[in-house]
Structure 1
Amino acid sequence: MDTNLLRQFGEVLTRKKAKLNQRIVIFTFFLVVATILWYLNKLGYEYDTELAFPVRFENFPNGKVVVGEPPHHLSMRVKTYGYTLLKHKLVASISPLVIDLERTPLLQFKRSDSKFFLTAAGLRSSIASQLRGDLQLISVHPDTLFFELTSLANRKVPVKPDLRLSFEKQHMQSAPISIEPDSVVISGPKTIIDTIAALHSQEIRLDKLTSTAEQSAVLSPIPQVAFSVRKVEVRIPVEKFTEATFSCPIDIKNLPPNIRLILLPRTVNIKCNIPLSHYSTLGSGCFEAYVDFNSIDNSLGNTIRVHTIPKKEFISNFDFEPKFVEFFIEKM
């Protein structure tokens, strides 16, 4: 008995819930239809409003470029219908207004070779001719656009890739890094070009190198500057190295013609790392060791500092002994 009552009660609830859901669906449908009809009705009204229009400037004076970024948008007060406003929002970003500076020339400030301007009044006819027929232009903001122009310059500058390298144990860079091309032609405003000494690449990180690596390096962009190429090819020679030791004679620099300088000892012992492929070429010609006679006045006692300079780029981690040698001066 109780089971039948519960079943009947559940069926009644299910029927009422289904009717309620049906009413909600019907209500929602008519609400959406009413909203669409209201919106379509509003689109038929005429509006006086401000719109942002994308703009592109073309044909700057020959041999001149803009310093900084020219305006990308202009604010315009227009009178039009809602349908037109909707179309504008859909297509304005893909069809900017074009300002041809041959037809609407820039005006130059007095006593300035680089300062120029355009007035909204001067732009009005050019803009109005590009607007849809159902868009009535009332005003343009700002009322004056300012430009700074400079001469277009070209220059060839070296490339300096930003490399972060590490090598596996017992491996080293065995020769200078090669870059192809090693220099790039840049062009842009002269005021910017004159400040660029070199082009740098985006960072390249190569870890635990055991063999020669080749990598494309993308050049870091510079606003308003064009590059003849956007990337370069970098080659880092890598091979195993060994430790080498040898002796090198000490030269004497700035020795007066009537003086004889005796050094004890006459050679230094050099220890360095060298690629295996260059081991057979190693010798005293790979280093320059010298003392400077002009530094004797600053020396302590009768010792003078020895200087060493590696003459081969594949040499690394070098050290030498002794750092100081004794000297004796004889007049001739």
Structure 2
Amino acid sequence: MFARKNIKRYYLIGLRKIRSFLLSAKSRELLIFLFFVIVSFCFWLLQTMNDTYQTEFKIPVRLKNVPKEVVMTSEIPNEIRVSVEDRGTVLLNYMLGRTFFPISFDFQDYQDKGAKVTIPLAEFNKKITSQLASSTKLLSVRPNVIEFIYTRGNAKKVPVAAKGRMVAGRQYYISNILLAPDSVVVYAPKDVLNSITTAYTEPLDLENITDTVVQRIHLQEVKGAKFAPAFTDVTICVDMYSEKTVEVPVVGLNFPAGKVLRTFPSRVQVAFQVGLKNFKRVSENDFFIGVSYEDLLNNKSSKIPLTLRSKPDFVNHVRIVPEEVDYLIEQQPVEEGTE
């Protein structure tokens, strides 16, 4: 109760102070000053609005009466930018009170002009000026060319390929790249369709990948072509490298009858890096170290360097220990009838 009385008392005191201020001589002087300021501003605004200005508007663009069997592979822009010049009052009317109707083009008027249609600048300039005041000057239109490309049933299926830079982190490697879908349907006029063999993704730029990455990537646009769908889900699978060592025999190649290669040692170690999923799968039988007789004939050293002649594609950083071995060409008796 006490608080309510205090609020009412303070309200009445404040109201009396405002009333006394408005009725004072200083208040009247201030109000007269503000009145002349507002009048001056209005005169200035009217004078300013009579000057000539330039501005830009957006006008929607539509293509109507497109048959159901037609696939638009290159759409017309949704809107065009129109630059005009006129007095400020006219431009203000455009901005505040006037709505521009969409500029419409009828597909039936252009279907006999081929799969690629270019609408002349003069044609849509005429549609623009019909919506402008007679005093308004049309300065420019962007884009200054409107075109569309379409096809009637021309399509084919093409594979999808990932494009870009994908680098695995240290001790990791990219084991597989999966695409879903891995193929798409492309619609295009015949000449464009014949030039497309693969649908590429937008370039990827990934580095230091240490875990599986899944991204939805749009396909690169091709002028005059439409992909369905226009994207693919890219799954980048990574695996961790592990070190493994196997013992592999050194084998002589192309030795004549009666001659046998002896190396010391006869078996060497092959160390390599392999992904964990292939660790148990790889064995010494997947590697082959061969020394040809011709190489030994040309060798002037007591040691021969070893070369890995075959290995699995999924192993990396292969090392032979030792890299060279002592050798001896041993003569053996040749059995009768053996050449």
3-state DSSP of counterpart to 2:167: strand
For residue 93 of structure 1, report the CA deviation from its aligned partner.
Answer: 10
For residue 284 of structure 1, report the CA deviation from its aligned partner.
Answer: 0.8
Backbone CA RMSD of aligned residues: 5.8
Structure with higher Rg: it is 2
> Which residue in 1 is equivalent to 2:40?
31
> What do residues 72-124 of structure 1 show as CA deviations (whole Å, max 9, x unaligned)?
637698999955x446446999964232332345746xxxxx87544456557
Percent identity (aligned): 9
> Which residue in 1 is equivalent to 2:205?
203
For residue 159 of structure 1, report the CA deviation from its aligned partner.
Answer: 2.3
Distance in 1 of aligned mates of 2:97 and 2:215: 38
Taking structure 2 as the reference length, the TM-score comes to: 0.55
3-state DSSP of counterpart to 1:31: helix
Change (3 A) 1:101 1:196: same
The answer to whether the 8 Å contact 1:304/1:327 transfers is: no
Change (3 A) 1:90 1:216: farther
For residue 219 of structure 1, report the CA deviation from its aligned partner.
Answer: 2.3
Change (3 A) 1:195 1:79: farther
3-state DSSP of counterpart to 1:30: helix
The answer to whether the 8 Å contact 1:202/1:217 transfers is: no
Any residues of structure 2 matched to 1:1-332 within 5 Å, and which?
Answer: 25-35=34-44, 54=59, 56=61, 58=63, 59=66, 62=70, 65-66=73-74, 73=80, 85-86=91-92, 88-89=94-95, 96-105=102-111, 107=113, 117-120=118-121, 127=127, 132=131, 145=145, 154=156, 155-160=158-163, 162-167=165-170, 172-173=172-173, 176-181=175-180, 183-185=182-184, 187=186, 190=192, 194=196, 198-206=200-208, 209=210, 213-219=211-217, 222-224=220-222, 226=227, 228=229, 230-239=231-240, 241=242, 243-250=243-250, 262-265=260-263, 267-274=267-274, 279-285=279-285, 287-291=286-290, 296=295, 300-301=299-300, 303=304, 306-311=307-312, 313=314, 315-323=315-323, 332=339
Change (3 A) 1:161 1:56: same
For residue 141 of structure 1, report the CA deviation from its aligned partner.
Answer: 7.3
Q: Which runs of 5+ in 2 are unaligned?
A: 1-23, 332-337
> Which residue in 2 is equivalent to 1:7?
none
Bigger Cα displacement from structure 2, 289-298 vs 243-252: 289-298
Distance in 2 of aligned mates of 1:200 and 1:291: 45
Distance in 1 of aligned mates of 2:35 and 2:87: 36
For residue 161 of structure 1, report the CA deviation from its aligned partner.
Answer: 6.1
Change (3 A) 1:180 1:65: closer
Q: Which runs of 5+ in 1 are unaligned?
A: 1-14, 109-113
Change (3 A) 1:95 1:280: same
Distance in 1 of aligned mates of 2:220 and 2:150: 17
Distance in 1 of aligned mates of 2:324 and 2:289: 11
